Structure formats: C-alpha cells, structure tokens
C-alpha cells in the first residue's frame, strides 16, 4: 500500500514525499487504519520496522483536522530515554514541515525555564520521559485535560527501567476517554497487565523479529578470554575497510576505556553512555551522524531508538544479558535492504547469556576461528586521534543547564583571595599610585584577601608598635600594676588617692540614697560592720593557712 492512498491531510502527504517515503511497512498498514478510527492499539514490534510513523501519522492527522474545526486536542508520547524522546521529536518536526503545530519536549537534564515556556504555548504534541513529566503534573503546569492521545513507546524498556509506577500515575491523571497506543518489543506480563487495566478492547498488532532482516547480517562469534577482547577488537577495526561501526558494552565505565584505547591507535571514536550530561550526548550523537566519528562506543542506552544510517559493523564487546537486546543491537546494521556484519565476543563472563540468545534466534550463531595474531595489541607506530571534545565519562552539566538556579554562597564565590592578582591580565594593569601598592614583606605569604580580612579585625587607627615601644609599654604596664596593688591594699583609688567610699561618681546608683551615699535597700541587706574598723576601709583578706614552721614562728613573735 502507498502513502498516497491514505486519507490523511495533504500537508502530511507532502512531508512524507519530501522524506522519500512511498510504501507502507507491515506495521504501518496494520496500525494506521484502526488508529484513525480511535481504537486502542497494542503493537508488538522491534526497532526499525517503521512504527514511529505508524503512530505519529494518524495522531497528527487527527489533531490538524480537529484544529481546523476549532478544537484543540493534544497528544502525549512517553519514551524511556532522552535519546528516543529527541528522535521522536525530530520525526514530528519532519511531518510538520508544511504545517504549524507547537511541539514540546519534556525530559530530564534540560532547562526547566525552556520547557515551561513550551508548555505555556499550548503544544499539540508533547514528547516526554516519565520522571520530568510527573514534576510538571504535580506542579499543575501540565494540561492533562487536553490530552486525547497517549502513546507509550518502548513500553517494555520503561518497565525494565522501573517506570511502571510512574506510567500508572500518569495514566490515572489523563482523561478516561483518551486513545491509548502501546508499543513494545515483547509481550511481557507488565504489558499485558497495563493493557488490561487502561485499555478498552485494544487491537493487537504483531510483527516478527525477522522483519529486522537478521538473515542479511553476517554474524560471527568469537570465544575469547577476558583480556583478549580489547586487542581483538582493535585488530578487527584496523583491518576493516572504512568501517562505520557501533561497539556495545554492558558497562558504562568500559565506554571510556574502549574509547581511549581506540584513540591511541588513531581510530576516530566517541563514547555514549548515561555518564554524560544530556547536552553532550546529543552533540556527540549528532557529530557521529555527520561523520566526525567513525566508531561509536555505547551501552544499551543507544541500542534502542538509535537511528543512524549506513552502519556497516556492530561489535558486541559484551554479550547482552537480555537476549532480546542482541537482536536490537545487531539491528542497527543491514537497514533499508543493505547488508551488515556483527562480531560478538564470548568470554567466561558472557557464557551464560549465549544459550538464551541462540534460543531466541532459533539457530546457532556461527563461531569464527580466532586469529592468533589478533589476541595481541598491534605493533608499530600509530598516529593518535586527538579528540577536540571534552573528556568522556563525566557529567559536566551546571545547575542552570539542568534547569536549577545557580546558588551563591561561600563555595561559589570567586576563590582568588589568596592568589597574586598582580599578574592577572584579565583585571588589566594596576593603575594605583606607586606608594599605595602593597609591598610583599619577606616571609609573608598571605595574599591580599587574607590581609584585608586581618585589617578589618583591627580597630581603625591601630598601628603595630615597634619593638622599642613594646618594651616601654611593658615597663609602664608593670609599674601600673604595682600602683594598683598598693592602692588596693590601702583602700584608696589609684587615680585620685581618695578612699573608695568618697568617689561616688564611679558607683552605680541603685534607687534612693542616704546621706552617706549608700542605697537604703543595700543598707538593710548589709551585715553589721565591726566598730573597730573604719566604715570605708576595705575588709582585710583572710590570712592564708600556715604550715607547722609558720605557726612556730608566730608563737615566738607573740612571746617577744
């Protein structure tokens, strides 16, 4: 069947013709007609069968026709990863080249401000990942009432990633009469349960795994040791003729190791894993599509929904633990009627995965003969590949890129207080007069910032005394202390020589006073004083306890 025969909007037919699409695939023929009738659909299909056009075409056609009638329905497409989200958004933009409908992409790792502006523009198509979408639903910034179409792409993948509760939460927030289409690579228990709970008499559409044209892929299996994988991989790539390859590994940390090793031998390779921030992943994938890199090292994040043409080789550095992922991996090659080659390495760590894969394929993977010369790293001089991009394997995203605000505080301020700003060319020349420039003292390693902080702690006008002044001050302080002790023993003030009772200016006034300068309240509470002692004379301190020798001396003094 041809796309020209479909009853869709003329603008969509023009967009399909611009892409060179003429004939429908099997899943497109089985899906478009019931989807236009408003039926719920459960599609069991692998990547590369044209399922994206199968659910986008009828949904966008219905939205365009409803807008012309004054209605404003919207479609929500849920995807497991950001890469698939962006790829579906690209397909939507291709279909809307001759028509203006607002599109919003909602996923983690992107700016909240940008996404909120897209939602405020009342988009007709929203492509999202579950986590970020739930944030907007809870904030009541997502228009759930306007959703008339819900599409779950790669549903089994979302279940494997733990999104089953998130999906149920989202589906409960949407209108009950919305059309639901679910696409999955396998009919698992969770897929069946979800279809049973939220769909009404869904139409089941199936395509077999052979549609990925596995028979056009030249498969090879090599039994290697754990340490033999890396040299064998490098030798295969160096001996291939202009390879455009994807290398799959089960571990994201290995992506960096494989990429660096390939760079040493002059291979233009880049890595793609969840360790990279979103902006960098999109940029590297775009550069790989444009041909800057000939080899892409990736985890299973890129095995589904990775739409790259002209892939000639696929390498399974590690056999996938999920047997179905093997089909998705090698399905990146041999597209559009072309042929491809796949190499799989099976070590002592991967041996348990092999029977399950061969059981799914229903045939044995051809075992290749190991070349003894390939189990060692190539010898000779190779010009290393210098990657101008940032280092792989680390997230370098700032809070502003991720949608948060840049927080201030001590840790985020300019930490240049202990540096010598004299040689900083960004600040320009120091235009202060020569006598005002701080001179670096010998042995003083404190920077300008530390000097300013210490200066603020000293009172204004305080200067550091010289050694001579310090000696004079010490002598003066010692004399002052002696005078104070002598005055205290005599009961007199050190400044005026008067008795303490007569100097009333230094005493706090606490209520009415009598003629003697004492408060009546204090006078009532004061104990009677000894009549043999002056009123203003200070009570002598009690004698210290004496030892035996002191007591004897006291007795002799009394007798004398």
Supply the pLDDT for residue 435: 45
Residue 526 predicted with pLDDT over 60: no
> Can you tell me the mean pLDDT for 2-13?
92
Distance of alpha carbon 237 from alpha carbon 23, whole angstroms: 36
Distance of alpha carbon 406 from alpha carbon 419, whole angstroms: 24
Backbone angles phi, psi at 125, to 5 degrees: -130, 125
> Can you tell me the mean pLDDT for 463-477?
51
Could you tell me the sign of the dihedral formed by the alpha carbons of 61, 64, 69, 74, in that order?
A: positive
Residue 504 predicted with pLDDT over 80: no
CA atoms within 13 A on the CB side of 36: 15
Residue 29 predicted with pLDDT over 80: yes
Q: Residues 6 or more apart from 181 whose CB is under 8 A from it? A: 31, 35, 40, 41, 42, 43, 55, 149, 150, 151, 152
Distance of alpha carbon 519 from alpha carbon 469, whole angstroms: 45
The two counts, helices (H) then strands (E), for the chain are 18, 13
pLDDT tens-digit map of 302-317: 555 577 878 999 999 9
Residue 448 predicted with pLDDT over 60: no
pLDDT tens-digit map of 86-105: 989 999 999 999 988 999 99
Residue 439 predicted with pLDDT over 50: no
> Can you tell me the mean pLDDT for 449-475?
49
> Can you tell me the mean pLDDT for 434-456?
46
pLDDT tens-digit map of 328-377: 889 888 876 788 999 999 999 998 999 999 998 889 999 999 999 999 99
One DSSP character per residue, 366-404 reads PBPPPPGGGSSPPPS--------SPPTTS----TTTTT-
Residue 527 predicted with pLDDT over 70: no
The least confident of 129-138, 252-261, 287-296, 458-467 is 458-467
Supply the pLDDT for residue 235: 97
One DSSP character per residue, 333-354 reads SS-TT--EEEEEEE-TTTTTHH
Percentage with pLDDT > 70 across the chain: 67
Supply the pLDDT for residue 228: 96
Residue 517 predicted with pLDDT over 70: no
Residue 515 predicted with pLDDT over 50: no
Supply the pLDDT for residue 542: 54
Supply the pLDDT for residue 544: 53
Supply the pLDDT for residue 432: 45
Neighbours of 531 (CB within 10 A): 6
Name the residue ranges covered by the structural domains of the chain: 3-207, 211-374
Distance of alpha carbon 471 from alpha carbon 480, whole angstroms: 14
Supply the pLDDT for residue 50: 83
Distance of alpha carbon 491 from alpha carbon 147, whole angstroms: 95
Residue owning tokens 């010998």? 442
Domain 3-207 shares a fold with domain 211-374: yes
Residue 301 predicted with pLDDT over 90: no
Residue 524 predicted with pLDDT over 80: no
> Can you tell me the mean pLDDT for 63-92?
92
Residue 413 predicted with pLDDT over 50: no
Percentage with pLDDT > 90 across the chain: 43
CATH number of 3-207: 3.40.50.300
Residue 558 predicted with pLDDT over 80: no
Mean pLDDT of the chain: 77
Supply the pLDDT for residue 62: 96
Distance of alpha carbon 49 from alpha carbon 482, whole angstroms: 103
Supply the pLDDT for residue 417: 42
Q: Residues 6 or more apart from 403 whose CB is under 8 A from it? A: 110, 111, 112, 113, 115
Residue 467 predicted with pLDDT over 60: no
pLDDT tens-digit map of 159-208: 877 888 999 999 999 998 889 999 987 777 778 888 888 898 999 998 76
Residue owning tokens 């902080």? 453
Q: Residues 6 or more apart from 200 whose CB is under 8 A from it? A: 40
Residue 458 predicted with pLDDT over 60: no
Distance of alpha carbon 245 from alpha carbon 236, whole angstroms: 11
Distance of CA 382 to CAs 194, 257, 259, 271, Å?
A: 54, 18, 15, 21
Which fold is adopted by the domain 211-374? Rossmann fold (3.40.50)
Residue 546 predicted with pLDDT over 70: no
> Can you tell me the mean pLDDT for 494-523?
48
Supply the pLDDT for residue 44: 86
């Amino acid at each position: 069947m041809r796309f020209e025969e479909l009853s869709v909007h003329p603008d969509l037919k023009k967009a399909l013709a611009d892409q060179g699409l003429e004939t429908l695939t099997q899943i497109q023929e089985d899906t478009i007609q019931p989807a236009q009738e408003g039926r719920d659909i459960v599609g069991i299909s692998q990547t590369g069968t044209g399922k994206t056009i199968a659910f986008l075409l009828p949904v966008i056609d219905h939205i365009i026709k409803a807008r012309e009638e004054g209605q404003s329905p919207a479609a929500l497409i849920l995807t497991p990863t950001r890469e698939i989200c962006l790829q579906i958004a690209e397909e939507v933009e291709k279909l809307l080249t001759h028509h203006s409908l607002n599109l919003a992409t909602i996923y983690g790792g992107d700016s909240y401000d940008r996404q909120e502006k897209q939602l405020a523009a009342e988009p007709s198509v929203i492509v999202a990942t579950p986590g970020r979408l739930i944030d907007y639903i809870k904030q009541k910034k997502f228009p759930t009432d306007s959703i008339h179409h819900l599409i779950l792409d790669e549903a089994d993948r979302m279940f494997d990633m733990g999104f089953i509760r998130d999906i149920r939460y989202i589906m409960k927030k949407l209108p009950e009469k919305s059309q639901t289409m679910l696409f999955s690579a396998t009919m698992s228990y969770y897929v069946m349960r979800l279809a049973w709970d939220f769909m009404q008499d869904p139409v089941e559409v199936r395509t077999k795994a052979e549609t990925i044209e596995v028979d056009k892929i030249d498969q090879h299996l090599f039994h290697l040791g754990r340490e033999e994988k890396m040299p064998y991989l490098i030798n295969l790539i160096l001996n291939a003729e202009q390879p455009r390859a994807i290398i799959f590994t089960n571990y994201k940390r290995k992506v960096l190791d494989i990429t660096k090793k390939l760079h040493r031998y002059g291979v233009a390779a880049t890595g793609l894993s969840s360790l990279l921030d979103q902006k960098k992943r999109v940029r590297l994938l775009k550069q790989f599509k444009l041909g800057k890199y000939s080899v892409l090292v990736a985890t299973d994040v890129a095995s589904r929904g990775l739409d790259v043409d002209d892939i000639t080789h696929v390498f399974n550095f590690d056999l996938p633990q999920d047997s179905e992922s093997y089909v998705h991996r090698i399905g990146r090659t041999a597209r559009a009627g072309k042929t491809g080659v796949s190499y799989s390495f099976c070590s002592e760590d991967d041996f348990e995965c092999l029977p399950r894969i061969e059981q799914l394929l229903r045939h044995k993977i051809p075992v290749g003969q190991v070349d003894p010369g390939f189990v060692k790293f190539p010898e000779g001089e190779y010009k290393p590949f210098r990657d101008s991009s940032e280092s792989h394997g680390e997230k370098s995203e700032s809070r502003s890129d991720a949608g948060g605000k840049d927080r201030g505080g001590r840790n985020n301020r300019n930490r240049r207080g202990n540096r010598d700003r004299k040689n900083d060319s960004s600040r320009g020349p120091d235009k202060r007069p020569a006598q005002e420039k701080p001179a670096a003292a010998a042995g003083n390693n404190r920077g300008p910032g530390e000097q300013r902080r210490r200066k603020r702690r000293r009172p204004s006008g305080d200067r550091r005394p010289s050694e001579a002044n310090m000696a004079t001050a010490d002598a003066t302080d010692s004399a002052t202390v002696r005078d104070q002790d002598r005055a205290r023993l005599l009961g007199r003030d050190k400044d005026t020589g008067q008795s303490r009772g007569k100097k009333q200016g230094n005493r706090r006034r606490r209520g009415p006073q009598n003629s003697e300068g004492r408060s009546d309240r204090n006078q009532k509470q004061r104990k009677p004083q000894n009549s043999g002692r002056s009123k203003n004379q200070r009570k002598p301190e009690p004698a210290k306890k004496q030892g035996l020798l002191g007591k004897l001396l006291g007795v002799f003094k009394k007798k004398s």
